[in-house]
């Protein structure tokens, strides 16, 4: 199907329409304010309408424009999919009124501004995908209230500031990705409370410090840390459980060269001559259990 969605006509079906699925078509449409009148809607799926041909020429621009604030009136909505379109503007704060929402998928769009703190009100939410947008704010600590959340994907945005320690309260989460942002500070020790976590992606940020020992108690299968400024060693508990771990690392500690205070030479990992790395130097941090040392094996 091509063209615009006839929102005024759809609003006439408000009393009976429970699912509206126009995914994987060739639409070039906005989301009309009339969407808020579809009060019995359980699923709204408009994903994958942004299309290119084999030569990367536009076939359809997909769903465009902002998400109207009226969408907050869909109190029965359980699934909202707008992913892989060209939706822009800010995420409306009214989205926090969708208390039945289980899946919120907004990835691969043109969304900007901030993550509304009201998303922390979505107690039923299990999947929050926001990767590949242009969100430039901090991560609101209110996301820590999403205790049923299984997947949190905020990667490939322009997020700044610290990782809020409240994210450690996401005890149902099995996958958290905050990669490819501009986050700073340390990995919160509260991440040691993520009792269901299987994978954490933090690569390509501006994180510093040591990897918290508390992560050694987690059932982690994959941990991606490359492209940051960590120092010290990976906690032993992580090495005992991990299946894949990547980082800017060496397979043993390094010491300062006599000729160049910024040139680290490989030494044995138990050598007494190896100082604790300092964040004031350019260095590779050590990881005896890394599967991959980015950008290449050292």
- The whole-chain average pLDDT of the chain stands at 86
Q: State how far the Cα of 224 lies from the Cα of 179, in Å rounded to an integer.
A: 9
- List pLDDT tens digits, range 201-232: 999 999 999 899 999 989 999 999 988 988 88
Distance of CA 198 to CAs 177, 219, 222, 241, 280, Å? 11, 6, 7, 10, 32
Give residue 284's pLDDT band: very low, low, confident or very high (50, 70, 90). Answer: low
- List pLDDT tens digits, range 224-238: 998 898 888 888 888
pLDDT at 21 over 90: yes
Nearest one of 153, 160, 213 to 183, comparing CA atoms: 160
Query: In this predicted structure, which of 2-16, 54-68, 269-283 has the lowest mean pLDDT?
Result: 269-283
Q: Where are the beta strands (DSSP E) in 7-140?
A: 19-21, 26-29, 43-45, 50-52, 58-65, 79-81, 86-90, 103-105, 110-112, 127-129
Q: State how far the Cα of 181 lies from the Cα of 159, in Å rounded to an integer.
A: 5
- List pLDDT tens digits, range 60-75: 889 999 999 999 999 9
pLDDT at 176 over 60: yes
Between residues 255 and 26, the one the model is more confident about: 26
- List pLDDT tens digits, range 241-279: 788 888 876 654 433 333 233 232 222 232 333 334 444
Q: What was the pLDDT predicted at 250? A: 60
Q: State how far the Cα of 29 lies from the Cα of 142, in Å rounded to an integer.
A: 32
Q: What was the pLDDT predicted at 291? A: 79
Per-range mean pLDDT, top range of 152-161, 259-268, 276-285:
152-161
């Amino acid at each position: 199907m091509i063209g615009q969605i006839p929102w005024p006509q759809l609003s006439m079906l408000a009393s009976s329409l429970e699912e509206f699925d126009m995914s994987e078509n060739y639409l070039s449409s906005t989301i009309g304010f009339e969407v808020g009148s579809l009060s019995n809607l359980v699923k709204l799926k408009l994903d994958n309408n942004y299309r290119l041909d084999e030569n990367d020429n536009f076939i359809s621009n997909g769903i465009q424009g902002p998400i109207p604030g009226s969408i907050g009136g869909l109190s029965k909505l359980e699934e909202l999919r707008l992913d892989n379109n060209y939706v822009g503007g800010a995420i409306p704060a009214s989205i926090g009124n969708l208390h039945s929402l289980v899946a919120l998928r907004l990835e691969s769009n043109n969304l900007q501004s901030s993550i509304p703190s009201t998303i922390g009100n979505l107690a039923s939410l299990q999947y929050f995908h926001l990767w590949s947008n242009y969100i430039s704010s901090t991560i609101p600590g209110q996301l820590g209230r999403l205790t049923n959340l299984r997947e949190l994907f905020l990667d490939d945005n322009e997020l700044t500031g610290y990782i809020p320690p409240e994210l450690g309260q996401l005890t149902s989460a099995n996958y958290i990705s905050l990669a490819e942002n501009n986050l700073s500070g340390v990995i919160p020790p509260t991440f040691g409370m993520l009792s269901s976590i299987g994978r954490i992606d933090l690569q390509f940020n501006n994180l510093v410090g040591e990897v918290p020992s508390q992560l050694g108690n987690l059932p982690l299968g994959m941990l991606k840390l490359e492209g940051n400024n960590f120092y010290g060693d990976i906690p032993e508990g992580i090495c005992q459980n991990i299946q894949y771990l990547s980082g800017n690392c060496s397979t043993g500690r390094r010491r300062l060269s006599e000729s160049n205070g910024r040139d680290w030479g490989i030494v044995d990992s138990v050598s007494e001559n190896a100082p604790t790395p300092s964040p004031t130097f350019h260095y590779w941090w050590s990881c005896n259990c890394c599967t991959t040392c980015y950008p290449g094996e050292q």
